[in-house]
Amino acid sequence: MQLEKANPVNTACWSCGSPLTAARLVCEACGKIQPPSVAASYFEVFGLAGKLHVDLPALERTFYKLSRKLHPDIYARSSSEEQQWSLANTSLLNDAYRTLKSPLPRTEYLLKLEGVQLEDPSHADKQARTPPDLLEEVFELNMQLEEMRMNRNVGEEDLTLRHDLENAKIQFDSQLAAADTELESLFARWDQAVDASDDAQKTNVKEKLTALLDRRRYLRNLVRDVDEALSN
């Protein structure tokens, strides 16, 4: 089954001929669904500039409004062509909403649009580079996790070790919170740079965001490992 064709950009509605706006998913004039054209960015779908602070209630309102125009339920009696377009455009809308409503996927998506190669989260779990300032703590943590595993294998429980791990978790949790705070401030700096069209500043923030996301992902995996060890 062929899901979508990479059509050239359509500038006018196929049905009424009115000019199409931004993401070209639906005609504002006659309400007809439009064939998927060269993929609009997720930000364009929502009529947003590529900024990192997003007004979530407004995003939800736009999502509902667009869903009412694009959803396959509305085209159940239309031509099979229009049904295909509705399917393609609604999946684009849903993918965009899912990505933009959460800060991390939103940031990752923006960086990808900006041409940054992020570590693939599905493969990077174990082999990720350890941030230099965490080397010592991670080394100690891995020793403790290993000891915990060995104890469990012989059916022993070392309360001191458990206590140490709990402390380590508290520490990593707070580092994770610090990373989130830093992310917030980078969001603000990115948005300012976009408003000011300050390319140098954008490049600077982009690098910082990339490093921060890698660090955050690394910390999250550590916390997950500790949680796993403690819950057993």
- Answer for the pair 145, 225: CB distance below 8 angstroms, yes or no: yes
User: Among residues 91 and 204, whose Cβ is nearest to other proteins?
Assistant: 91
Least Å distance between CB 127 and other proteins? 13
Least Å distance between CB 186 and other proteins? 24
User: Among residues 90 and 175, whose Cβ is nearest to other proteins?
Assistant: 90
Q: Is 77 in the site for other proteins (CB under 8 A)?
A: yes
Element (H, E) at 194: helix 159-195
User: Among residues 92 and 213, whose Cβ is nearest to other proteins?
Assistant: 92
- Answer for the pair 142, 148: CB distance below 8 angstroms, yes or no: no
Report the C-alpha gap between 199 and 211 in whole angstroms.
Answer: 19
Tell me which residue has tokens 């490093």: 211
Report the C-alpha gap between 215 and 104 in whole angstroms.
Answer: 13
Report the C-alpha gap between 37 and 33 in whole angstroms.
Answer: 12
Binding mask 92-121 for other proteins (x = CB under 8 A): x-xx-xx-----------------------
Least Å distance between CB 96 and other proteins? 11
Q: Is 76 in the site for other proteins (CB under 8 A)?
A: yes
Beta bridge partners of 7: 37
Task: Give me the residues that bind other proteins (CB under 8 A), please.
Answer: 1-4, 64, 67-68, 71-74, 76-77, 87-88, 90-92, 94-95, 97-98, 122-123
